[in-house]
Amino acid sequence: MEIPSLLVQKAVDEIAQLPGIGRRSALRLVLHLLRQPTDFSERLSGAIATLRQQIRYCTTCHNISDDDQCTICANPLRERNVICVVEDIRDVMAIEATGQFKGLYHVLGGKIAPMDGIGPQQLTIDALVARVQEENINEIIFALSSTMEGDTTNYYIYKKLSALRLRFSAISRGIGIGDELEYADELTLGRSIRQRIPFEMSMKS
Amino acid sequence: MEIPSLLVQKAVDEIAQLPGIGRRSALRLVLHLLRQPTDFSERLSGAIATLRQQIRYCTTCHNISDDDQCTICANPLRERNVICVVEDIRDVMAIEATGQFKGLYHVLGGKIAPMDGIGPQQLTIDALVARVQEENINEIIFALSSTMEGDTTNYYIYKKLSALRLRFSAISRGIGIGDELEYADELTLGRSIRQRIPFEMSMKS
């Protein structure tokens, strides 16, 4: 279908480059923008432009931040000798929402994925190594997703740091609390069985 | 979940106001933007801002257009005595794609929907009436979606124009009641245009 306006065409082209938004959805969004008051489009385009121009990253953990230090690194109440290694800000937010972790984070910015041209140099791994060497860290928790890329990245970092006296751990994997066994995938359920924990421990929380 | 950056927060707030995009998807889009080169965000925000500032509508049919007249109204090969009444530009695009209609359009910009505060004055109905009175029109084809709002709008326009010597028709419904025009396949929609029926008959559901 041909769009009878270059302006609309251009907006659709740009919006359709976003992940998960096809050309049809993009056109629907454009028509929605045209039905809204002008200041809605101005606020939206302004927020997008400002975001990319002014975004900053915490110089310690590389989390997204409005200051040199993110609110977590700057918080004197956090335990400063445990670092949880995650992929991006959404993982930080998800773990923070549990209220179960009081240490610090390190945001890698992705996973090692040679097929996508992402090597260790594209991630913040060197900064993590420097951080562990300079500061008094005694535990690294791996919390990347358990895909081949995630496992590769974990192992790469582990190798880089294994000479240091550190405890390494990984978040536990298993079927979700409240999930039915019969609907769990075999890999997950298999791991839940192999990595079973003492019953007394399972009663806590 | 709390977002640790006001910049990101603001961008998520704006993007999440778009229809069909929740806060989680908005955050995913924001993180995608942050991973792309700066000029991607610049092009996107520029296209959105320019769209809303510079958009123009055809002075004849109110279709979206880059000129005073849209390419359809300006085309001397179109039949100038048949007007197909549609809701928005997507309907024009859908009908054009069938290649079955050689007349002109009138884009209402919506349907009469008192619950949403949309009355006849918010639509281009007066302009349609003026157009029919001034020009040599002999057929009006109703092609709004067959919902209660669509039928109400059709009937309102029919009443406004029924004193004039016009043929009224409605596109035939091979496509399901309640289905949107833009999702219909081209064969079905093309047949709907060719096999239009007298408006009075179309009211007998």
Among A1, A13, A48, select the one facing B97 at the smallest CB separation. Answer: A1
| Residues with Cβ within 8 Å of residue B52, at least 6 apart in sequence | A33, A34, A38, A41, A42
Q: Is B139 on the interface with A (CB under 8 A)?
A: no
Q: Which of residues 78-107 of A touch B (CB under 8 A)?
A: 88-90, 92-94, 96-97
DSSP, res A136: T
Q: Of B184, B116, B183, B180, whose CA–CA distance to B147 is shortest?
A: B180
Q: Of B105, B167, B159, whose CA–CA distance to B131 is shortest?
A: B105
- Structure tokens belonging to residue A64: 């997204």
> B170 to chain A nearest CA, in Å?
23
Q: Of A65, A44, A97, whose CA–CA distance to B10 is shortest?
A: A44
Residue scoring higher pLDDT (B200 or A134): A134
- Check the CA dihedral A195-A199-A200-A203 and report its sign: positive
Residue scoring higher pLDDT (A4 or A77): A77
Inter-chain touch A49–B41, beta carbons under 8 Å = yes
- Structure tokens belonging to residue B163: 């004193």
Can you tell me the mean pLDDT for B68-91? Answer: 92
Mean confidence (pLDDT) of chain A: 88
Domains in chain A and their CATH numbers? 6-54 (1.10.8.420), 76-171 (3.40.1360.10)
> In terms of CA atoms, which chain B residue is nearest residue A123?
B35
Residues counted in chain B: 205
Inter-chain touch B54–A7, beta carbons under 8 Å = yes
Cα separation, B102 vs B78, in Å, equals 5
Cα separation, A139 vs A14, in Å, equals 44
> B161 to chain A nearest CA, in Å?
27
pLDDT of residue B192: 67
* pLDDT of residue B98 exceeding 80: yes
pLDDT of residue B76: 93
pLDDT of residue A82: 93
> B104 to chain A nearest CA, in Å?
14
Q: Residue A9: its chain B contacts at CB < 8 A? A: none
Inter-chain touch B1–A65, beta carbons under 8 Å = no
Residue pair B127/B163 in contact by the 8 Å Cβ criterion: no
Inter-chain touch B47–A1, beta carbons under 8 Å = no
Residue-wise pLDDT for B147-194, tens only, equals 889 989 999 999 999 888 889 988 876 655 567 777 777 777 776 677
Residue pair B128/B159 in contact by the 8 Å Cβ criterion: no
Cα separation, A84 vs A82, in Å, equals 7
Residue-wise pLDDT for A79-136, tens only, equals 999 999 999 888 898 888 888 889 999 999 999 998 888 899 999 999 999 999 999 9
Q: Is the ipTM of this complex over 0.85?
A: no
Q: Is B65 on the interface with A (CB under 8 A)?
A: yes
With 0-12 / 13-18 / 19 or more C-beta atoms within 10 angstroms meaning exposed / middle / buried, residue B20 is: exposed
Q: Is A19 on the interface with B (CB under 8 A)?
A: yes
